Chains A and B, each alone.
Chain A
Amino acid sequence: MHSLKNNLTRLLEIAVIVIMAALVLDVLWGVVSRFVLAEPSRWTEELATFLLTWVALLGSAVGFSRRQHLGVDILVNQLHPEARRLMAIMVQCLVIAFTAAVMIWGGYILVSETLHSGQTTPALGIRMGYVYLAVPISGLFIVLFGVEQLFELVAPLSPSTSSQSPIAESQRERT
């Protein structure tokens, strides 16, 4: 389970790196086409917003895998380690519940309804449903990582380390 999670995270990370690079090149191409070629390309902005949706949602899944989404831990840190572990379990359940209900279920309806309506984007003619596909797919990854972390919390091999790690690690890398 652990190596599966690491491999999936790595896969997502590569996707994030590639899309980030593509975003920069895409927008720069938009500038070049306007100033140098004097023939503004109509598709660069559209493509950029789609790539942005994908990179933000896939990156969110990486953020959950690396426990980088921010919470407010002052109250929890006052608790007894066992109570803190219980709290972390409840929080994991909330994350899974939200992701499953909104991102996977809601996202699935969003994708299927948009695909069904046949709505396409103005410049590129991509079906909008494929853009929204980022929502349920990222949701699946987030739930997967959430379940893995839940297992770690519920059945701790060494209780002291696993109950502290999610809290301590979330302090890093803030903007």
Chain B
Amino acid sequence: MEAQLLILVVGFLVMLAMNTPVAIAIGLCTLLAVISLGDVPANYIVAQRMSNGIASFPLLAIPFFILAGNLMGDGGMARRLVDFASVLVGGYRGGLAYVSTLTCMMFGAISGSATAAVSSVGGMMIPEMQRQGYNRAFSVAVTTTAATTGLLIPPSNVMIVFAVVAGNVSVASMFMAGILPGLLVGLSIMLVCRLMATSCQDFESLANLPTIEGDSNAKGSASQPLAQSKSLVGTAFAALPSLLLVVIVLAGILGGAFSATEAAAIAVLYAFVMAVIVYREVKLNHLPNILLRAGITTSVVFLLISTSQAMSWVLAYQNIPQSIATAMLQFSDNPYVILLIINLILLAVGTFMDMTPAVLIFAPIFLPVVTELGMDPVHFGIMMIANLCIGLCTPPVGTCLFVGCSVGQTSIASVTRPMLPFFAAMLISLLFIAYVPMLSLWLPSLFAR
């Protein structure tokens, strides 16, 4: 067992450092580990595990949610959500920061992609915030962190990945479990915005945080206003169809009418009708390109899933997760300590690894540990995703941070300081999510029977 574990760990880290595509790095060290087992047809086994690992009906929900998100995104959803959020929360002091956060939460939930939320919402909100006198780095920090909440608020593709890897976890209960933690993180980000709006000697350009009307202090008062003149009913009516997508998916799954995959296919149909027929912002000849983009995004994720499934097979074959569980439980049998250690490891992993590969690699390793401690796998999945969301916003590798900085045209270095209070908010939320199981498990328990 030691030999295989050594090959997996060292081989993976070396190849990762060389900038090998992560899926290939996982696949190659898996191949080497299987070869080291001796007398098994290594390349046949890995090929078989790879293709069986992705031939799964539940996983099919992933391309569908990506496709629905692309259709809604191209159909002008971001603008409608910004208008709606502006009317809801834009009137307060520091309003644009709330608008940004709320829009990111809604967009992220619907599109299921944190980077899509940063680029779409950030692309609209960051220039607007700048125009109204907000510090640019602060604007990037708000949008980047808020965008990750979309991975906790359903539908969420990474939850499907977790459910499939964990085995005995239903996608529906993951979706329900994510709602409250997602709202908690979003609200904590808004709370930071509020604290900084009231006491912000630190960020001098925030000292005159304008409301969305921008009448009193905003320098660019001549700039075109967002949506203050629009009515609540009008903007809600425009944004509602986008939000309804989430409701249809959840209601369909929870009502038992559809599987998650079928609900996702219906979401595609719904998004198609909205974007092409109702809003008419997507032309029929755009469709091949939208399908292709969704197909390639899917394939990138699926190649990762397929090689990770092969690696999980080696891990399980050699009882490696059980050995790690035993070792960790020998170190301490206090659930709080173990949970803290797991969270610290995941935080460290998250700084340099993207969320999907991190879930694929570490869910099978840590699940035996936490189930031994009596933790619900659903709760663990939500905690893991909430934890890795932080890593999406941290250097050296943080996809949300990269996209946010490029959309906001700032450097990673300049965003670091305004990020700190938001990291604190996310960490405190993570503590609550980790140590208050009801936060995740209460909603699914309502629908269990």
Contact = CB atoms under 8 A, between A and B. Distances in A.
Nearest to B27: A98
A103 B54 CA distance: 14
Nearest to A107: B47
A27 B56 CA distance: 13
A110 B63 CA distance: 26
B21 A70 contact: yes
Given A56-B302, A60-B303, A72 B397 contact: yes
A72 B22 contact: yes
B292 interface: yes
Given A28-B269, A62-B299, A49 B44 contact: no
B410 interface: no
Contacts of B66: 175
Contacts of A87: 18-19
B50 A68 contact: no
Interface residues of B, number: 70
Contact of A23 (B47, B63, B301): B63
Nearest to A18: B291
Interface string B14-41: 0111111111110110010000000001
A49 B262 contact: no
B399 interface: yes
B364 to A, nearest CB: 20
A28 B65 CA distance: 14
A24 B268 contact: yes
Contacts of A17: 288, 291-292, 295
A86 B115 CA distance: 31
Contacts of A70: 21-22, 300, 354
A168 B371 CA distance: 42
A26 B294 CA distance: 17
Contacts of A135: 47, 50-51
Given A24-B265, A175-B356, A56 B397 contact: no
Contacts of A69: 21-24, 300, 303
B59 interface: yes
A109 interface: yes
B21 A103 contact: no
B19 A53 contact: no
Contacts of B262: 27, 30-31
A52 B109 CA distance: 24
Contacts of B28: 94, 97-98
Contacts of B55: 49-50, 52-53, 131
A76 B51 contact: no
B357 to A, nearest CB: 8
Contacts of B17: 72, 75-76
B47 A110 contact: yes
A60 B300 contact: yes
A38 B265 CA distance: 19
Most interface-central of A99, A102, A106 (chain B CB within 10 A): A102
30 contacts: A16-B292, A20-B291, A20-B292, A30-B262, A31-B266, A35-B257, A52-B55, A52-B302, A56-B298, A56-B306, A57-B299, A59-B299, A63-B300, A69-B303, A70-B21, A70-B300, A71-B25, A74-B396, A75-B19, A94-B18, A95-B20, A95-B21, A98-B24, A98-B28, A102-B43, A102-B46, A102-B50, A106-B42, A107-B47, A175-B115
Interface of B: 15-25, 27-28, 31, 41-48, 50-51, 54-57, 59-60, 63-64, 66-67, 113, 115-116, 157, 257-258, 261-262, 265-266, 268-269, 288, 291-303, 306, 352-354, 356, 396-397, 399, 402-403
Interface of A: 13, 16-17, 19-21, 23-24, 27-28, 30-31, 35, 45, 48-50, 52-53, 55-60, 62-63, 66, 68-76, 87-88, 90-91, 94-95, 97-99, 101-103, 105-107, 109-110, 113, 131-132, 134-135, 167, 171, 173-175
Given A20-B67, A70-B300, 19 more contacts: A20-B291, A48-B261, A49-B55, A60-B299, A62-B296, A63-B300, A69-B300, A71-B22, A94-B24, A94-B25, A101-B31, A102-B47, A106-B43, A106-B45, A106-B47, A134-B51, A173-B293, A175-B115, A175-B301
